[in-house]
Structure 1
Amino acid sequence: MVAPADSVLVAVSGGIDSVVLLHALLELAPTLSVRLGVAHLNHGLRGKEADKDADFVASLAGGLQLPFHDGKEDTRSYQKQHRLSLEEAARRLRYTFFDAVRADHGYDKVALGHHADDNAEQILMQLLRGAGMASLGGIPPIRDGTIIRPLIRLTRQQISDYCRRAGIAHVTDKTNFDRRHLRNRIRHDLIPVLRKYYNPAVVQSLNRLSDIVRDELHWTDALCETHFRLAVTGMKPGQLRFSLNELRGCLPALRRRIIRRAITLVKGDLRQIGFVHIDAVLQLIAAGSFGSCVHLPGRMQVRVAGSEIIVAKNDANLRNASPAGSARRWFRYTVAPPSTMPVTVFVPEAGLRVVFSLFATDSPEQLRGAGQQQAFFDMDKLHFPLVLRNVRSGDRFSPLGVGGTQKIKKYFIDHKVPATQRACCPLLVSSGQVVWLVGHRIAEAAKLTAATTEVLKAEVQVVKQ
Structure 2
Amino acid sequence: MDHVVHSFISKHQLIQPGQRVLAAVSGGPDSTALLHMLTQLREKVPFHLTAVSVDHGLRGEEAREDLAFVQTLADQWDVEFHGTSVDTGSYKESSGKGTQEAARDLRYRFFEEQMYARQADVLVMGHHGDDQAETLMMQMVRSARPEAVQGIPLRRPFACGEIVRPLLCVSKEQLLHYLNDRSLPSRHDPSNDRTDYTRNAFRHRVMPFLKEQNPRLHEHVQAFSERAAEERSYINEQAQKVLEYVHFSEDVEKFVQFSKQTFKTFPLALQRTAFHLILNYLYVKQNEDISYLHEEMFMNLLRDEKPNRSLDFPGGLKVVRAYDEITFTFADENEDSSFRLILHPGASVSLPDGSSVEAEWSWCPEEPDAFTYVCEDYHVNLPLIVRSRQPGDRMEVRGMKGSKKVKDIFIDQKIPARTRGTLPVVTDQTGEILWLGGLKKGGRQRGRSSTGPWLRLHYKNKADA
Alignment TM-score, normalising by the size of structure 1? 0.61
Alpha-carbon distance in 2 for matches of 1:49, 1:131: 41
* 1:126 alignment partner, SS class: helix
Alpha-carbon distance in 2 for matches of 1:31, 1:276: 51
Partner of 2:134 in structure 1? 121
Alpha-carbon distance in 2 for matches of 1:90, 1:322: 40
Alpha-carbon distance in 1 for matches of 2:93, 2:128: 31
Alpha-carbon distance in 1 for matches of 2:21, 2:227: 28
Q: Which one of 208, 213, 216 corresponds to residue 223 of structure 2?
A: 208
Q: After the TM superposition, which residues 187-266 of structure 1 pair with which residues of structure 2 at under 5 Å, given as runs?
A: 187-196=203-212, 198-235=213-250, 239-245=254-260, 246-266=262-282
Partner of 1:328 in structure 2? none
Give the superposition deviation at 1:292: 4.2
* 1:44 alignment partner, SS class: coil
Q: Which one of 181, 196, 201 corresponds to residue 185 of structure 1?
A: 201
Deviations 1:2-49 (A, max 9, x none): 111100011011111111111111111132110011111222233332
Is this contact kept in 1: 2:169–2:218, CA < 8 A? no
Partner of 1:175 in structure 2? 191
Mapped pair 1:274 → 2:291: yes
Deviations 1:238-279 (A, max 9, x none): 724131413455455433311211222343332524334444
Q: After the TM superposition, which residues 212-361 of structure 1 pair with which residues of structure 2 at under 5 Å, given as runs?
A: 212-235=227-250, 239-245=254-260, 246-270=262-286, 272=288, 273-282=290-299, 292=310, 294-296=312-314, 299=315, 301-304=317-320, 308-311=325-328, 318=331, 321-323=333-335
Partner of 1:165 in structure 2? 181
Structure 2 gaps, min length 5 = 1-13, 338-465
- Distance verdict in 2 for CA 1:69–1:266, change over 3 Å: farther
Alpha-carbon distance in 2 for matches of 1:251, 1:86: 42
Alpha-carbon distance in 2 for matches of 1:268, 1:166: 47
Give the superposition deviation at 1:236: 5.1
Partner of 2:72 in structure 1? 59
Give the superposition deviation at 1:324: 6.3
Partner of 1:3 in structure 2? 16
Give the superposition deviation at 1:200: 3.4
* 1:22 alignment partner, SS class: helix
Is this contact kept in 1: 2:170–2:218, CA < 8 A? no
Q: After the TM superposition, which residues 110-149 of structure 1 pair with which residues of structure 2 at under 5 Å, given as runs?
A: 110-144=123-157, 146-149=162-165
Give the superposition deviation at 1:114: 0.8
Is this contact kept in 2: 1:53–1:171, CA < 8 A? yes
Alpha-carbon distance in 2 for matches of 1:54, 1:302: 48
Is this contact kept in 2: 1:43–1:90, CA < 8 A? yes
Partner of 2:389 in structure 1? none
Alpha-carbon distance in 2 for matches of 1:52, 1:271: 38
- Distance verdict in 2 for CA 1:301–1:164, change over 3 Å: same
Partner of 2:387 in structure 1? none
Partner of 1:106 in structure 2? 119
Alpha-carbon distance in 2 for matches of 1:240, 1:32: 49
- Distance verdict in 2 for CA 1:223–1:203, change over 3 Å: same
Alpha-carbon distance in 2 for matches of 1:268, 1:85: 22
Mapped pair 1:75 → 2:75: no
Counterpart residue type for residue 233 of structure 2: H
Alpha-carbon distance in 2 for matches of 1:252, 1:165: 52
Q: How many residues align?
A: 317
Alpha-carbon distance in 2 for matches of 1:301, 1:9: 40
Is this contact kept in 2: 1:284–1:294, CA < 8 A? no
- Distance verdict in 2 for CA 1:69–1:265, change over 3 Å: farther
Give the superposition deviation at 1:54: 1.9
Is this contact kept in 2: 1:45–1:76, CA < 8 A? yes
Give the superposition deviation at 1:199: 2.9
- Distance verdict in 2 for CA 1:229–1:43, change over 3 Å: farther
Q: Which has the larger radius of gyration?
A: 2
- Distance verdict in 2 for CA 1:100–1:176, change over 3 Å: same
Q: Which one of 8, 21, 28 corresponds to residue 41 of structure 2?
A: 28
Partner of 2:444 in structure 1? none
Counterpart residue type for residue 223 of structure 1: Q
Alpha-carbon distance in 2 for matches of 1:271, 1:15: 32
Structure 1 stretch displaced more, 255-264 or 70-79: 70-79
* 1:146 alignment partner, SS class: strand
- Distance verdict in 2 for CA 1:84–1:282, change over 3 Å: farther
Counterpart residue type for residue 117 of structure 1: D
- Distance verdict in 2 for CA 1:278–1:304, change over 3 Å: same
Mapped pair 1:37 → 2:50: yes
- Distance verdict in 2 for CA 1:167–1:225, change over 3 Å: same
Is this contact kept in 2: 1:300–1:311, CA < 8 A? no
Cα RMSD (Å) of the superposition? 2.9
Alpha-carbon distance in 1 for matches of 2:71, 2:227: 39
Counterpart residue type for residue 317 of structure 2: Q
Partner of 1:437 in structure 2? none
Partner of 2:441 in structure 1? none
Give the superposition deviation at 1:93: 2.6
Alpha-carbon distance in 1 for matches of 2:310, 2:38: 54
Give the superposition deviation at 1:142: 1.2
* 2:84 alignment partner, SS class: strand
Is this contact kept in 1: 2:168–2:222, CA < 8 A? no
Is this contact kept in 1: 2:129–2:167, CA < 8 A? yes
* 1:69 alignment partner, SS class: strand
Counterpart residue type for residue 205 of structure 1: H
Deviations 1:94-144 (A, max 9, x none): 222211110012211100001111101100111122342123221111112
Counterpart residue type for residue 185 of structure 1: A
